[in-house]
Structure formats: C-alpha cells, structure tokens
C-alpha cells in the first residue's frame, strides 16, 4: 500500500485491513468448530459456534462503520478506494461464512437431539469441508499479501468442491429412495453439504476481490482460465 501525505490515512487503512484479518480468524475457527461439533455430537461446542455469531455480526458492523467514515473523511480515489470497497465486500462474505457455520451447528443440534449417535456420510462431509477451509485460508492469505494469483487456485478448488457436493447429494438421494424412513435425516445432511459448498463460494468471492484490489479488474462470473489470465 502506498504512503500518503496524511500518515493517519495510512493508519486508518491498515487498521481496517487488520480488523478484517482478525474477523477472518474468528470466522475460520467458527467454521472449523462447527464441523468438529457435527462429527463429535458436542453440544457445548455447537452452542459456542452459534453464540459466536453475535461477535461476528458486531465486527461486521464495526468494520463497515470504519469504512464509511474513511470514505466520508478521506474521499479516497483509485487504489485507496478499491481497498476500502474490497474490505466492505470481504467482510460481507466473512459474515456469510459465519452464518453457514451457524447453520451447520443448528442442523447438527437437530440431528443429535433426534437421537442419532452418528452422522451418515460424515467422512464425505469432512473431506468437503477441508476443501472449503483450504480455499478460505488461501483467499485470506492472498488478501493479506495482496497476491491476486490465489484467485485461480481458489477457483479451481471451487470446481472440485461443487463436484463433491453433487456426489454427496446423489448418494443421499439414493439413500432416501432405498429407505424412505431416512428422508428427514438425509435432507439435513444435504443442507449441511450445501452450507459447506457455499462457504467455498464465499472464499472464491474473497479471492476474486483480491484481483480487483491489486489489478483493478473485476473477474466475477469469469471462467477459471480468464481469472488465471487476469491474475498474473
């Protein structure tokens, strides 16, 4: 990031970026805990994930407010404006990831309160969540280092994640057809798998914002090859 005549402006931009990385760490932990709680049936951890939502929402509001003040006071232009706009977009996707972690935990609570002692296709869900978590970490690392090349890596992982979701969905549809008594549980698992897939979508969004931040190019809705080309 370039230096400005006003050192305070530099401080404000770095503070906003630092806050979003702190929020990212909290959201990553929340998603990881949601998957641990789902696998173990840990009710206390499930409740912790759900309670963390208030903290994540509070950080979302605080960072948005900081950005609005920067725009009002500094009237940033060019790369500075892109930084502020990127922070606003990234924080929104992080908040959505937190929502998905809460959704997973609420579904887990329903499953275990219904008397289940294990979760069907848990190994598939774990594999799927590991892909999503790697995508999120890669995207956030790219944001921290201002490295647009992560967008191509994350976009390719998103294709893999989508394929995993479709495979789980097909397996569970077969499961329901073979035994209609499993329909309710299978639908819960599909909702969890969809939530994990959406975490990957939000990670991809974050990676694409890094391209916009560094290159000034909007690569949203572009094919993977185009994202990789523009990110170089």
The pLDDT value given to residue 1 = 47
Asked whether residue 1 is domain-assigned, the answer is no
Instruction: Quote the radius of gyration of the chain (alpha carbons, Å).
Output: 19
Q: Rounded CA gap, 125 and 168, in Å?
A: 8
Asked whether residue 25 is domain-assigned, the answer is yes
Asked whether residue 2 is domain-assigned, the answer is no
Q: Which two tokens stand for residue 61?
A: 């509001």
Split into its structural domains, the chain has a count of: 1
The pLDDT value given to residue 75 = 87
Asked whether residue 115 is domain-assigned, the answer is yes
Domain of residue 181, CATH code: 1.20.58.220
Q: Rounded CA gap, 17 and 11, in Å?
A: 10
pTM, 2 dp: 0.93
Asked whether residue 14 is domain-assigned, the answer is yes
Q: Are 162 and 93 in contact (CB under 8 A)?
A: no
Asked whether residue 82 is domain-assigned, the answer is yes
Asked whether residue 226 is domain-assigned, the answer is yes
The pLDDT value given to residue 34 = 98
Asked whether residue 101 is domain-assigned, the answer is yes
Q: Which residue segment(s) compose the domain that 31 sits in? A: 7-231
Q: Rounded CA gap, 42 and 105, in Å?
A: 10
Helix (H, G, I), strand (E, B) or coil at 211: helix
pLDDT tens per residue across all 232 residues of the chain: 455 546 788 888 889 889 999 999 999 999 999 999 999 999 999 999 999 999 999 999 999 999 999 999 888 888 889 999 999 999 999 999 999 999 999 999 999 887 776 777 899 999 999 999 999 999 999 999 999 999 999 999 999 999 999 999 999 999 899 999 889 999 999 999 999 999 999 999 999 999 999 999 999 999 999 999 999 8
Q: Write out the DSSP string of 157-208.
A: HHHHHHHHHHHHHHHHHHHHHH-GGGHHHHHHHHHHHHHHHHHHHHHHHHHH
Q: What is the pLDDT of residues 26-35, one digit of tens each?
A: 999 999 999 9
């Amino acid at each position: 990031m370039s230096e400005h005549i006003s050192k305070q402006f530099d401080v404000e931009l770095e503070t906003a970026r630092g806050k979003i990385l702190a929020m990212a760490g909290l959201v990553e932990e929340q998603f990881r805990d949601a998957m641990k709680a789902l696998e173990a049936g840990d009710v206390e951890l499930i409740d912790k994930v759900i309670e963390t939502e208030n903290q994540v929402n509070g950080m979302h509001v605080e960072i948005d407010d900081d950005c609005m003040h920067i725009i009002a006071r500094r009237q940033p232009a060019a790369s500075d404006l892109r930084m502020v706009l990127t922070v606003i977009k990234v924080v929104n996707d992080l908040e959505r990831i937190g929502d998905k972690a809460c959704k997973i935990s609420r579904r887990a609570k329903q499953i275990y309160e219904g008397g289940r002692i294990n979760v069907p296709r848990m190994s598939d869900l774990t594999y799927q969540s590991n892909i999503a978590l790697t995508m999120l970490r890669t995207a956030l690392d790219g944001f921290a280092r201002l490295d647009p090349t992560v967008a191509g890596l994350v976009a390719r992982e998103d294709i893999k994640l989508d394929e995993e979701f479709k495979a789980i969905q097909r397996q569970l549809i077969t499961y329901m057809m073979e035994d209609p008594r499993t329909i309710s549980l299978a639908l819960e698992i599909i909702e969890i798998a969809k939530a994990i897939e959406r975490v990957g979508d939000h990670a991809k969004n974050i990676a694409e914002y890094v391209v916009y931040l560094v290159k000034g190019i909007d690569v949203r809705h572009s094919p993977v090859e185009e994202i990789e080309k523009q990110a170089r």
